Chain A
Amino acid sequence: MISEMFQKLWDNGIIQMGIWETIYMTVLATLFSYGIGMPLGLILSVTDKDGIHPMRVLNRILGIIVNIFRSIPFIILMVAMLPVAKFIVGTSLGNQAMIVTLVIAAAPYVARMVESSIKEVDAGVIEAAQAMGTSSFKLVYKVLIPEAKPALIIGSVISMVTILGYSAMAGTIGGGGLGQIAITYGYQRYNNDIIWVCIILTILIVQIIQEAGTRITHKTDKRIS
């Protein structure tokens, strides 16, 4: 049975807005997270002691920073990073501020994801490329990234779904989206059906992301013939 509350939210376009805000926050936060996490992950894998250009000190320092950010629970990190959001986007409220905190939380996660994808590239292929006189720099963009592409795509889907989960938590401290609707209209006003609607919508969005990711991977991975 659909409650009055749901009817009202739907008629006022709040649910629709929530879906849009969730997608908007997730997509933008994922893009920015990769903007930071991708280079960071590449540096981590390349400078590793078994990497193509070992740099022990740099690797250690970056590793520790990444680990620190990854070990703080998101809900706490989010609150702690609000001043940073205010500094960057001029406000500590709303979706833009939430995107900043999401990126700070997700970028280290993305970095580890990218690092492990790059490390999966066959050492023999790297060796062959080196034997052909490939410089470390070219090795990264001509061999490591293309060879790791399927793993990178799968990783980006996992990251995106994780960021989607984080974005729901942003609803508790002033962010928008389905998480905020579930908390304000569902949990705080005792409308269980609103919570369930938000859950179902979230599941749908995750499914769509997952399916699209799988298809893209399958299409682009040349190891599957």
Chain B
Amino acid sequence: MIEIKNLNKSFNTANGTIVALHDISLTIQDGEIFGIIGLSGAGKSTLVRCINLLERPTSGDVILDGKSLTGLPQKELLQVRQTIGMIFQGFNLLTQRNILQNVCYPLEIAGFKKKDAVKRAVELIELVGLSDRQKSYPSQLSGGQKQRVAIARALATKPRYLLCDEATSALDPNTTQSILDLLKEINKTMGVTIIVITHEMKVIDQICDRVAVIDNSRIAETGYVSDVFTNPQSDIAIDLILPKANTTETMVGEHRLRIIFDGEASSKPVIANLILECQVPVNILFADTRDIEGKAYGQMILQLPDDTRQQERVLSYLKVNKIAFSKEV
């Protein structure tokens, strides 16, 4: 379990002090995939670097399995880092070492015997599906392959935690998908707790159990992905998750209605039933639904006819059927 307690981080620059993180508190449970999402510059990369103390927090503490990391002497901190794997947007492989040697690197640092290190590295390279590229150098691999090597390297010392700093941001959609699948598999089969930093909703959507939305150096909200996605509370989460508010501003016509699907309701043909029952021709201005853990979530913006009686019929139908909605102004 990782506990982040009242963590603050500020940088002193020539132009004064910049606050990167403000009073961050988070608890990450064993075995979960925890997402941290925010716009660039929100402080999420700094936050993940504070977990393994690549960045020293200005104040506050990081507690790993009950042990405070900020007070550890350097030597012990280095050992703790060997139990926390990390992968990066830029892969950061050693350019002058081949794939096998790259995966062996953390094992060398951890003091494994050469023979044991090679054996473990070969296993991991096989796990990430690159057995035929052991002797290749990073310059000869594609981005997705490089990230696979980085994952193998990060897992070499059997860490219990894996930090992913924008690990898929430099990859194309297909490759992103395969890397996400791999991370999910690692989480399930090896029980590695994964912390994912990203600015992409899709990544959170697909693999995370819980999510923290970070904005302007602070945590805006935290919760289960399904809860945050269906019912975002903070402005930034609404911005990130729901379609932008300005999409409605540009829409013409009055009497707009935002319908919110909560997973179960969208398995039913809600709109079709509404039209059939109320005998009202509604106009779909906008629709966006997502599949979260097998359930569909999302929202739709409808335009109702000018007739007030028809409008009321629709509203009462929605109320009776317990479908969440809000009037758009």
Contacts and interface: CB of A to CB of B under 8 A. Distances in A.
Nearest to B77: A133
A22 B131 CA distance: 51
Interface of B: 52, 54, 74, 78-82, 84, 86, 88, 90, 92-98, 105-106, 108-110, 137-140, 150, 153, 157, 163
Interface in A193-225: 221-225
A133 B95 contact: no
A223 B108 CA distance: 22
B97 A225 contact: no
Chain A CB within 10 Å — which of B81, B109, B138 has the most?
B109
B78 A135 contact: yes
A8 interface: no
A127 interface: yes
Contacts, number: 77
A92 to B, nearest CB: 44
Ranked nearest first, the 10 interchain pairs of A and B with the lowest CB-CB distance are A133-B81, A128-B92, A133-B82, A124-B92, A131-B86, A133-B78, A222-B137, A132-B106, A124-B90, A225-B140
B109 A134 contact: yes
Interface centre among A133, A135, A225 (most CB of B within 10 A): A133
Interface of A: 122, 124-125, 127-135, 138, 142-143, 146-147, 149-150, 221-225
Given A128-B86, A225-B139, A133 B79 contact: yes
A63 to B, nearest CB: 20
17 contacts: A122-B92, A122-B95, A125-B92, A125-B95, A127-B92, A128-B92, A131-B52, A131-B84, A131-B86, A132-B105, A133-B78, A133-B82, A143-B94, A149-B96, A222-B137, A223-B96, A225-B137
Contacts of B96: 146-147, 149-150, 221-223
Contact of B108 (A122, A125, A127, A142): A142
A188 B137 CA distance: 57
Contact of B139 (A133, A149, A224): A224
A150 to B, nearest CB: 8
B94 A147 contact: yes
Given A124-B88, A222-B137, 5 more contacts: A128-B88, A133-B80, A146-B94, A147-B95, A225-B140
A138 B52 contact: no
Contacts of A127: 54, 88, 92
B82 A223 contact: no
Q: Which has the most chain A C-beta neighbours within 10 Å: B52, B79, B94? A: B94
A66 B71 CA distance: 38
Contacts of B84: 131
Contacts of A130: 54, 81
Contacts of B54: 127, 130-131
A159 B93 CA distance: 30
B109 A133 contact: yes
Given A124-B88, A222-B137, A133 B93 contact: no
A127 B94 CA distance: 11
A146 B138 CA distance: 15
A149 B79 CA distance: 28
Contact of A132 (B97, B98, B109, B139): B109
Contacts of B80: 133
A133 B92 contact: no
Nearest to A132: B106
A73 B291 CA distance: 73
A222 B140 CA distance: 9
A131 B81 contact: yes
A143 B97 CA distance: 10
B81 A132 contact: yes
A149 B150 CA distance: 22
Contacts of B93: 125, 128
A137 to B, nearest CB: 11
Contacts of A147: 94-96
A131 to B, nearest CB: 4
A134 B52 contact: no
Contact of B95 (A129, A135, A222): A222
B285 to A, nearest CB: 45
Contacts of B106: 132-133
Contacts of A129: 94, 105
A139 to B, nearest CB: 10
